Structure formats: structure tokens, C-alpha cells
């Protein structure tokens, strides 16, 4: 019998002889010698899915029938096993469908001849192993069987990964056989029930016996005959005669049925037990224990491969799969070649980057290695390489082309309605920024879905080695003893989540700005800080160096700012601290607490804000990334920046649950990390396309590379927002699979103040777009890359989007030609770009293993949030336009004319405190702070009435929104108290299912 193109497996009766380990290994070696592989291209990629579907349909039918039987009478032990464990069988079927997609299944090597002809080799081996093990598997037999097979013929890595699914598929085959036997026995028992009922209704001689009287029929008929009274003796006599005519006896039938039920119970128990084992087994560990390619790569001359985490090692193995001939021998040979290539370099220079095998598999040496093994990429691969090779002109050119197309559409529209010459240039000027915003949003969304994220290779540390000693630093301001207590408590919490003798924690502090060098409470505050840090070191003493440090700077007079302050604020703290780590004694630090002997050994720093949380194990994860040879920073003194590897790691920034629920405003915006360029990177576009991310000020940096890249670059009193600047010179990697957790502003005004400060900082970097840039020693040549300069320009462009949209709307309602809906729709279209992620998600569809209801629920929620954000962006457009224009104007005046107050700044904590005060002072303060919005609305209304009254119907909705914007901002910013929402029926159902699945997995693992 055949099922969906696959041969039915041999029976594994419970009493079948179980091969010993030695005989099993001999059998595996014999199979390896006998089974030949067919040329590639044969077989269906969906045969196994059809087989699983057919098996599950049959198993479910038997399950349903047995459930019905169990309601009225006892069932066999084998049937009880099936009923009690049907959820395990169903889960295995889902796993096969998930883990063996058709594209992967079709690539598996298939057997050329013999009884297994056309079957995937790994599936045939699974059938053989189960048949030689009585259906009872264990980890030892699995490992010894595969190892013995590979001692003759290596399996491909794809076959090894498919092995657990092949075992599940083979076990389903056997379970289907057992279920068919249960169904057949049930049919015979039902026939016996029918005969007994017929005899009871009309006691006559019965001579129409089946040609083959089944033992299940006999035992059931005997059971039912007990209720027939006197009729039973005649029925027994007839049954004995019928059996005797067939060479059987009643005793033989009863004995055979008992033996079969015992064998069926044992077989069912073995099969389901094996299915449980496979479902809970650590297959990653198994793979690495039997993979011959893994054993070769472990010989990496640099000694790095074996210290990497599993996903990094898997990335190397995937590179082997891609480059090698698709056979086990081909993959093994290519792995040997890559190790030998690294060994030849290691002999000459053990510390060279290319002495590590990964350099040739996934690093810069990949192309040369490909040529050495005569590998040619596919057409798709060549197109992809061409795309990455021309990433900068392609990306910028696409933005330019898309922007030009939209601007041309507006110009043609104006021309169609009678405008010509210089007037069309004015239209182009009005529309270029909005057009660029829409184009970039579309481009970034397309790239995020077309290019998979780049995950950096990393080492996996149980403990950070002394050579990677790291200091976690929190640059901050001290203004009260209460603030000191908050900072020290926060520092201790971060340390408890990242316990390691070679990870230290430090506060880098200044006093608040003042009109005098010292203030009356300075000494008291500083003593409190010193005492708290000293107490922490005593509390957490572990016999090694101190874990906690304090570095405090004195105030210095700043002529430009006309006040006493810490030199160059946060940038100065980091720069001076780096110098202290390398032995400098001429800094402005006046108090240091901690064991200074460890400072020269500090190689990396992780910088956090005072409200940033460092989740458990994140410090070790970041250190593992930065210490990997492929990520090690290489500073090029000719261009004055890091050109290979990374000097900075920027984790993804998530938002705390508490701050996300702090107000309706926070709830609407905090869930979309990656949208706000100042709290997270704009997207993964820069990292995925160009191999470099954007530094947002919180992450890990290499002390020496960072110092070398930034030494002597920045004049004093020049940069407020320095994070982007530092990332461009030290080269930053966005590590999107590692996260830090930060607070999100709970009010519209606190968010606006931060935006105002950051826009000012962005425009201070304006001069770094020119060929020559300022430095402490005068002008020098600008060595930033083209894409680096684009990042600066893009920040400037983004800051003028709101003013540009406001200008376009006002002009469209008053002076631009044609119907007003065209210009209004253009602005709404730019705002509606926030729907792009929702549209893209809808087109892509549910993720694997995500149910349709869950997908639709998430989509519905995201759509509602996107529409709310669009509505609010239009509501606050006038306010944001004024605020951005004010920040830009102030910066340009200070940059070009006054050269003063370039470092005006306040901490996030101060901003939040001020905003909290505003909420407490109610609506009048919001009306005062956001008065520009209704004023702009009134001015635009007057202009419309004076110039184009017919535009009022299109403009009135916007004018009303701008007028009530302060009220809306106040309402959105009101703190939301914690509410306990009762569970819905759907929530309860999901929780019960989750609890049941968790209990099943726990039970399976215990067994």
C-alpha cells in the first residue's frame, strides 16, 4: 500500500526484536553503502504535506469514533493512548507543515533505487531507524545511528536539520497504521454486535459466518453472548464449529486478541513516547554533535568559531551550504578548504582578521574565496550583489527620482491651470520637501521588506574575559541629594541585571549650570554621592575590583554661554572620561570614587541616560558582538575615521510599559519604535543596505577606536547634539536584536521640547555638509562618506517637513492654481504615509504559526493607531511647524551671528518634570505654550478670506483643528491612571489553551 507517493513503512509490532546498538550501527553503515542518491530535480515538494493531511484525516476519524465508543463502553489500552495523546500527534503534524516547507523539502537528496526509490534519504533513514527500534527512540540511539551512517556517507546539513521532521513524519506513518488496525478491530466488533443483536431478536440457526473470522469478532461476540441467556449455548456451538472448519478454536482467538492488544498498547506507547521525545529534544545541540561540517569549522585557527553563539555558527554553516555542491561530501570539502585558507594566514599573522574562517565565509574575503572554489552566483544573486554594490547611488538616485516625479506632477498640474515660468519654480520649491518625505517613507518601507535584517556575528560569553573589561557609564547632572539617591538606586538595578566581575558601573556627573562656580549645597550633594557609591562597593564586594565608580567634574566658566558649567556637557564628560581611562591627569574631574587600578584595562564603555534600563544580560551580549573579529574596529588615520568593523554598537531602543501607558499620547506613539529618529534609528535601512546605522547616544563604544576617530575634530562650543556626528566618525552598527529600554515622553509639550533641542543640535552640524569643516585647529577637509553626509542632510530635511507642509497648505488655499482639493490631498497623502507599515503588513500576510484571527486583530489595532497618528499630525501641524521653524531660526542666528548659547540644554528628567508641572497647572498653560497654533489658524483664515474665500470649505477642518490643538494636547497629556480591565471570553480561552499547551510540554519533558 502507498500513501501520497510514499511507501508504507514496515510494521513495528511491539514484540519485534529490538536491534542492539552495535547491530543498529552496523545496519546504518550498510544502508550508507547501499543507498545511492538520484540526480537533483526529482520529486514533489508537497508530497509530504499531502501525506500528513491524509494521515491526520484518518487519525482524526479514528479518534472521533473512539471518543464516541468511550462514552458508552470500555476501549482498548492502545485506544486510550491515542485518545489521551492526540494533542501531541496534532502538534507534530503542525510542526512538519511549519518546519518542512515545500521549497526546503524539494531540495533534500532522494534515493535513486531500491524499495525507497524517490523518497528523501532522511525520511528513508527515519523509517529504518524506527523499524529497527520497535518504535522506541532515545537520544543515544539517534546519535549513534546518524554517526554510524556518516562514517560511510556524510549527510548534508539540510538533511540533518530535516531529521526531526522526518522522524515525526515516519512516526505519523506508523501511528496511522496502528489507527487503521484499531479501526479494523472496531469494525469487527461492530459486526459482532450486529450479529448478537440479530440473534437476540430472532433466535435461529446462523450459518452465514465471515470467510475470515477475526479474533476481535470472536472475543466481542463472546462478550455480547453473555446477555443472551439460553441462546448463547447454541451460538457458542455454532461459533466453535465455524472456527474448527477454519482450523481455529475459541481459545486461540481469545489468546491472539489478548496478545494483539498488548502488542498494540506497547507499540502505541512506544510511538507516542518517541513523538514526545522528538518534540522536546534539543535538536540544535544534536545537530552540532553529529554534523561533520560543524566538526571541521570547530578547527578555526583563530579559535573564534567555537566561542560564537549558535545563530552565528549557523550563519557560517549556511554560507557553506550556499557555496558547496549540494552533497554531504561537497559541504565537508568546502568547510575543509575554508579552514585551510584561514590557517595559511594564521601562520603568518595570528591576529589578522582574515585568520578567522568567518572572514572567508561571510566577511570581506568572501568574493575571493568564491573565486578559489569556482563558485558562481545565480542570476538573482548577481542582481542582489549589483544592488548592494551600487547602494549609495541607487538609494539616493531613487529618492531623487521619486521626489522629482512627484514635484513634476505638481508643476504640470500648475502649468495645466495657467502658471508659467518663475511661478512654476515656486511650485517646485513648495512641493520638494513634502514629495521627498513621501518618497523616503515608501523607499524605506520597501527596503525593510526586501532586504532581511543584518544580524552581526557574535561571541557567546558565560563570563566577560578580562581583555574585554567594560564600564557602563551614566552621564548626568547632580542637583539634589534626592537625585543622587535615584541615580545610585538606578545604577544598582542595572548592575544586578548584568553581574560580572569585569563589568563595572560609573556615574559621570556635573553640577547644574550656575552663575557662580559653586553653590551652597554642592559639597553636601557631592559627599552624598561619594558615600552612596562607596556603600555600594561594600555591599557588592566580591573579592575583586570595585564594581561601582563616581567621576565628578568641576564647573568651568564658559564665556559663550555666560555661566559656569561642565566643559562641553555630555560630549565633554565622555571625552574626558576616555582620557582618564588612558591615564590622563589634566581633566576637570575633581572627585573619583572606586578602584582606579582597573581603569587602564577598560576596553569598552556602554553609555546610558539616567532613565535608560540595561536589561539582563544585554551588556554581555553587546560585548560579545564588539569583540568578534569581523566587528573589530579598524581606524584609518588617512581619513580620520573607522572604515572597517564598528567603533559603536547602537541597540534597538524600546519603551518601558509604564511610560507607554502614562498618557493617551504615549499610548499612541510609544508602540512604534523606529519611527521617531531621535529615540531609535529611523529604520533598519542604513544598517541593512549600507552596513552602518545611526547612533542615538545610548550603546557600546570601543574606547580606543572612539577616541582615535574623534580626537581633535570638534571646536569648543560647537555641538550640542553630537551622537550622529560621533557615529559617522566611529562607524556605528545598529544591533536590532538587542534592546535597551527607555522612557517615552508622556505629554505633547515634553516631546516638543525634546524635538526642539534635537532640531537645534541637528542644524549645528550643518557645516559638516561642506567640503571643509571646522576643527580646533581651523578648517580641515571633510572626510565623511557620501551616505554619512546624507544622514546629516536627511535630519535637516526632516526638521523642515512640518513648515513645508504648512506652507504648501496655505499657498494651496490662497495663491496656487486649480481646485484646492489637489494641494490639500497632497498634504494629507504625506501625513498618510504612516499607513505604509499597515499596508505592507496586509500585503505580506500573517507570519508563520500566526493565526488569522490574531493577525487581523493586530492589523485592526495598528490601523486604528495609524489613523489616530495621521489625525493628530494634522491637528498639531501648525504648532510643529512653528516650533521647528523657531528651533531652526534660533540655531542659524546663533551659528552665524551671535555664536552664543550653542550648548543650551536640559536633561530629559527636567523636561519631563516641567511637563508634569504643566499638566498640574491645567489648560491655561497649554494655551500659552501652544498659542502659535490658533494664531497661525487665524492668520491663515484672514489670508483665505482676503485672497480666496472659495477655499474656506477645504480649509475650515484644518483651521478648527489648529485652533483646538492646545486643548487636544492637554487632553492627550493628562496622566492615565492604571486600570484593571476584566478578561474577555476570548482572553480566557487563549489563556486556557496556553496553560494546557504549557502543561503538556512540561509533562512531556518530565516523561
pLDDT tens across 685-729, in order? Answer: 899 999 999 999 999 999 999 999 999 899 999 888 889 999 999
Q: pLDDT by residue (tens digit) across 424-458?
A: 999 999 999 999 999 999 999 888 888 888 899 99
Residue range 673-679: average pLDDT?
37
Cα–Cα dist 257/217, whole Å: 9
Say which range, 77-91, 236-250, 909-923, has the weakest mean pLDDT. 909-923
- Cell numbers for 293: 561540517
pLDDT band of residue 423 (cuts 50, 70, 90) is: very high
Report the largest interatomic distance among the alpha carbons of the chain, rounded to a whole angstrom: 122
- Cell numbers for 125: 533513514
Average pLDDT, the chain: 89
Residue 1000 has pLDDT above 80, yes or no: no
Task: Give which of 652, 651, 673, 831 is closest to 744, Cα–Cα.
Answer: 673
Residue 226 has pLDDT above 90, yes or no: no
User: Quick one: pLDDT at residue 17?
Assistant: 57
**Residue scoring higher pLDDT (232 or 419):** 419
Say which range, 1-5, 469-473, 846-850, 902-906, has the weakest mean pLDDT. 1-5
Residue 384 has pLDDT above 90, yes or no: no
* Dihedral (CA of 174, 176, 178, 180) sign: negative
What's the distance, CA 658 to chain centroid?
22
Percentage of residues in the chain having pLDDT higher than 70: 91
Rounded CA Rg of the chain = 37
User: Quick one: pLDDT at residue 912?
Assistant: 62
Cα–Cα dist 323/370, whole Å: 7
Residue 16 has pLDDT above 60, yes or no: no
Q: Domain ranges in the chain?
A: 1-281, 291-376, 381-450, 470-602, 609-799, 808-886+915-973
pLDDT band of residue 1003 (cuts 50, 70, 90) is: low
User: Do residues 111 and 119 make contact, with C-beta atoms less than 8 angstroms apart?
Assistant: yes
pTM exceeding 0.75: yes
User: Do residues 293 and 317 make contact, with C-beta atoms less than 8 angstroms apart?
Assistant: yes
Q: 552: which strand partners?
A: 509, 591
Cα–Cα dist 827/812, whole Å: 10
pLDDT band of residue 221 (cuts 50, 70, 90) is: confident
- Cell numbers for 824: 490639500
Q: 634: which strand partners?
A: 644
Residue range 229-248: average pLDDT?
71
Within 10 angstroms of residue 512's Cβ, the number of other Cβ atoms is 20
Residue range 283-292: average pLDDT?
96
Say which range, 221-225, 281-285, 710-714, 830-834, has the weakest mean pLDDT. 221-225
User: Quick one: pLDDT at residue 680?
Assistant: 36
Q: pLDDT by residue (tens digit) across 537-596?
A: 999 988 788 999 999 999 999 999 899 999 999 999 999 999 999 999 999 999 999 999
User: Quick one: pLDDT at residue 673?
Assistant: 42
Helix or strand or coil: residue 253?
helix
User: Quick one: pLDDT at residue 4?
Assistant: 38
User: Do residues 342 and 300 make contact, with C-beta atoms less than 8 angstroms apart?
Assistant: yes
Hunting for cell 581611562 — which residue is that?
581
Residue 861 has pLDDT above 70, yes or no: yes
Determine which helix (DSSP H) or strand (DSSP E) holds 737, and give its type and residue range.
strand 732-742
User: Quick one: pLDDT at residue 5?
Assistant: 42
Residue range 616-621: average pLDDT?
96
**Residue scoring higher pLDDT (15 or 750):** 750
Cα–Cα dist 620/461, whole Å: 7
* Dihedral (CA of 348, 352, 354, 357) sign: positive
User: Quick one: pLDDT at residue 681?
Assistant: 35
Cα–Cα dist 743/609, whole Å: 10
Task: Give which of 436, 442, 516, 408 is closest to 797, Cα–Cα.
Answer: 436
Residue 945 has pLDDT above 90, yes or no: yes
User: Quick one: pLDDT at residue 207?
Assistant: 62
pLDDT band of residue 859 (cuts 50, 70, 90) is: confident
User: Quick one: pLDDT at residue 677?
Assistant: 35
* Dihedral (CA of 215, 218, 224, 227) sign: negative
Cα–Cα dist 802/133, whole Å: 71
Cα–Cα dist 461/309, whole Å: 9
Cα–Cα dist 100/158, whole Å: 11
Cα–Cα dist 740/732, whole Å: 16
- Cell numbers for 933: 497654533
Query: How many degrees, rounded to 5, is the angle at CA 791 between CA 364 and CA 903?
Result: 125
Parallel/antiparallel/unpaired status of strands 556-558 and 563-565? antiparallel
Q: Where are the beta strands (DSSP E) in 403-500?
A: 470-478
User: Quick one: pLDDT at residue 989?
Assistant: 77
Amino acid at each position: 500500500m502507498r500513501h501520497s507517493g510514499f511507501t508504507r513503512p514496515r510494521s513495528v509490532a511491539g514484540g519485534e526484536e529490538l536491534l542492539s546498538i552495535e547491530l543498529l550501527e552496523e545496519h546504518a553503515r550498510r544502508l550508507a553503502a547501499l543507498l545511492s542518491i538520484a540526480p537533483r530535480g526529482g520529486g514533489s515538494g508537497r508530497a509530504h504535506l499531502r501525506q500528513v493531511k491524509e494521515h491526520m484525516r484518518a487519525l482524526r476519524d479514528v479518534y472521533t469514533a473512539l471518543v464516541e465508543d468511550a462514552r458508552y463502553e470500555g476501549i482498548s489500552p492502545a485506544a486510550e493512548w491515542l485518545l489521551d495523546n492526540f494533542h501531541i500527534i496534532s502538534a507534530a503534524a503542525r510542526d512538519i507543515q511549519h518546519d518542512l516547507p515545500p521549497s526546503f523539502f524539494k531540495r533534500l537528496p532522494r534515493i535513486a533505487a531500491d524499495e525507497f526509490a524517490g523518497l528523501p534519504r532522511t525520511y528513508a533513514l527515519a523509517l529504518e531507524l524506527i523499524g529497527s527500534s520497535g518504535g522506541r527512540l532515545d537520544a543515544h540511539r539517534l546519535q549513534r545511528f546518524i554517526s554510524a551512517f556518516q562514517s560511510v556517507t556524510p549527510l548534508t546539513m539540510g538533511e540533518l536539520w530535516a531529521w526531526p521532521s522526518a522522524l515525526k513524519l515516519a512516526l505519523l506513518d506508523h501511528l496511522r497504521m496502528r489507527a487503521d488496525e484499531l479501526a479494523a478491530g472496531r469494525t469487527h466488533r461492530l459486526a459482532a454486535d450486529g450479529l448478537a443483536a440479530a440473534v437476540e431478536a430472532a433466535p435461529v440457526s446462523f450459518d452465514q459466518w465471515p470467510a475470515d473470522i477475526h479474533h476481535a469478532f470472536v472475543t466481542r461476540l463472546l462478550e455480547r453472548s453473555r446477555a443472551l441467556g439460553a441462546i448463547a449455548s447454541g451460538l457458542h456451538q455454532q461459533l466453535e464449529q465455524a472456527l474448527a472448519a477454519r482450523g481455529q478454536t475459541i481459545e486461540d482467538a481469545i489468546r491472539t486478541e489478548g496478545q494483539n492488544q498488548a502488542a498494540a498498547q506497547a507499540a502505541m506507547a512506544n510511538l507516542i513516547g518517541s513523538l514526545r521525545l522528538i518534540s522536546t529534544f534539543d535538536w540544535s545541540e544534536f545537530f552540532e554533535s553529529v554534523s561533520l561540517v560543524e566538526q571541521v569549522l570547530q578547527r578555526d585557527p583563530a579559535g573564534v568559531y567555537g566561542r560564537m553563539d549558535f545563530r552565528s555558527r549557523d550563519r557560517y554553516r549556511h554560507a557553506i551550504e550556499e557555496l558547496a555542491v549540494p552533497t554531504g561530501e561537497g559541504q565537508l570539502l568546502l568547510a575543509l578548504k575554508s579552514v585551510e585558507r584561514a590557517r595559511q594566514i594564521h601562520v603568518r599573522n595570528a591576529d589578522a582578521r582574515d585568520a578567522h574562517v568567518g572572514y572567508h565565509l561571510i566577511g570581506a574575503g568572501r568574493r575571493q574565496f568564491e573565486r578559489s572554489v569556482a563558485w558562481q552566483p545565480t542570476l538573482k544573486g548577481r542582481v542582489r550583489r549589483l544592488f548592494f554594490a551600487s547602494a549609495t547611488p541607487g538609494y539616493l538616485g531613487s529618492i531623487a527620482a521619486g521626489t522629482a516625479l512627484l514635484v513634476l506632477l505638481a508643476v504640470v498640474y500648475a502649468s495645466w491651470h495657467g502658471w508659467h515660468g518663475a511661478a512654476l519654480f515656486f511650485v517646485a520649491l513648495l512641493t520638494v520637501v513634502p514629495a521627498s518625505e513621501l518618497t523616503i517613507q515608501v523607499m524605506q518601507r520597501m527596503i525593510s521588506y526586501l532586504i532581511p535584517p543584518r544580524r552581526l556575528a557574535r561571541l557567546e560569553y558565560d563570563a566577560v574575559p578580562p581583555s574585554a573589561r567594560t564600564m557602563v557609564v551614566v552621564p548626568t547632572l547632580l542637583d539634589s541629594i534626592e537625585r543622587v539617591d535615584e541615580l545610585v538606586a538606578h545604577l544598582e538595578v542595572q548592575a544586578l541585571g548584568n553581574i560580572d566581575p569585569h563589568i563595572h558601573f560609573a556615574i559621570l556627573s556635573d553640577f547644574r549650570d550656575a552663575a557662580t562656580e559653586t553653590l551652597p549645597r554642592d559639597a553636601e550633594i557631592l559627599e552624598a554621592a561619594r558615600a552612596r557609591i562607596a556603600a555600594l562597593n561594600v555591599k557588592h564586594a566580591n573579592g575583586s575590583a570595585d564594581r561601582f565608580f563616581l567621576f565628578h567634574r568641576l564647573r568651568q566658566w564658559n564665556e559663550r554661554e555666560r555661566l559656569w558649567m561642565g566643559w562641553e556637557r555630555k560630549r565633554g564628560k565622555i571625552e574626558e572620561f576616555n582620557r582618564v581611562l588612558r591615564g590622563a591627569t589634566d581633566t576637570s574631574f575633581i572627585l573619583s570614587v572606586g578602584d582606579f587600578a582597573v581603569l587602564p584595562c577598560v576596553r569598552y564603555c556602554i553609555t546610558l541616560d539616567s532613565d535608560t534600563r540595561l536589561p539582563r544580560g544585554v551588556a554581555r551580549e553587546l560585548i560579545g558582538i564588539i569583540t568578534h573579529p569581523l566587528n573589530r574596529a579598524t581606524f584609518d588615520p588617512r581619513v580620520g575615521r573607522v572604515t572597517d568593523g564598528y567603533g559603536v554598537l547602537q541597540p534597538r531602543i524600546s519603551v518601558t510599559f509604564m511610560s507607554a501607558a502614562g498618557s493617551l499620547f504615549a499610548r499612541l506613539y510609544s508602540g512604534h519604535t523606529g519611527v521617531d529618529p531621535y529615540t531609535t534609528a529611523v529604520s533598519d535601512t542604513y544598517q541593512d543596505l549600507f552596513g552602518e546605522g545611526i547612533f542615538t547616544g545610548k550603546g557600546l563604544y570601543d574606547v580606543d577606536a572612539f577616541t582615535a576617530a574623534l580626537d581633535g575634530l570638534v571646536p569648543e562650543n560647537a555641538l550640542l547634539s553630537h551622537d550622529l556626528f560621533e557615529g559617522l566618525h566611529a562607524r556605528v552598527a545598529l544591533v536590532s536584536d538587542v534592546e535597551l529600554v527607555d522612557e517615552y515622553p508622556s505629554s505633547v509639550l515634553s516631546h516638543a521640547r525634546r524635538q526642539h533641542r534635537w532640531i537645534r543640535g541637528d542644524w549645528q552640524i550643518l557645516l559638516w555638509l561642506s567640503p571643509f569643516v571646522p576643527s580646533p585647529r581651523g578648517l580641515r577637509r571633510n572626510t565623511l562618506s557620501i551616505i554619512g553626509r546624507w544622514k546629516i542632510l536627511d535630519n535637516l530635511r526632516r526638521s523642515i517637513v512640518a513648515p513645508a507642509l504648512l506652507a504648501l497648505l496655505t499657498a494651496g488655499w490662497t495663491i496656487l492654481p486649480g481646485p484646492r482639493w489637489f494641494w490639500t490631498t497632497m498634504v494629507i497623502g504625506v501625513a498618510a504615509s504612516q499607513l505604509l507599515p499597515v499596508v505592507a503588513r496586509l500585503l505580506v500576510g500573517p507570519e508563520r504559526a500566526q493565526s488569522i484571527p490574531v493577525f487581523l486583530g493586530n492589523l485592526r489595532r495598528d490601523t486604528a493607531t495609524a489613523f489616530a497618528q495621521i489625525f493628530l499630525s494634522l491637528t498639531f501641524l501648525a504648532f510643529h511647524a512653528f516650533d521647528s521653524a523657531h528651533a531652526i531660526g534660533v540655531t542659524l542666528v546663533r551659528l552665524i551671528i551671535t555664536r552664543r548659547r550653542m550648548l543650551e540644554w536640559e536633561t530629559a528628567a527636567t523636561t519631563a518634570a516641567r511637563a508634569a508641572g504643566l499638566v498640574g497647572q491645567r489648560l491655561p498653560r497649554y494655551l500659552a505654550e501652544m498659542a502659535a497654533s490658533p494664531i497661525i489658524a487665524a492668520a491663515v483664515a484672514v489670508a483665505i478670506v482676503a485672497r480666496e474665500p472659495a477655499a474656506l470649505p477645504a480649509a475650515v477642518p484644518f483651521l478648527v483643528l489648529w485652533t483646538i490643538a492646545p486643548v487636544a494636547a492637554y487632553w492627550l497629556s493628562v496622566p492615565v491612571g492604571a486600570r484593571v480591565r476584566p478578561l474577555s471570553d476570548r482572553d480566557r480561552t487563549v489563556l486556557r489553551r496556553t496553560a494546557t499547551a504549557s502543561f503538556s510540554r512540561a509533562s512531556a519533558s518530565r516523561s
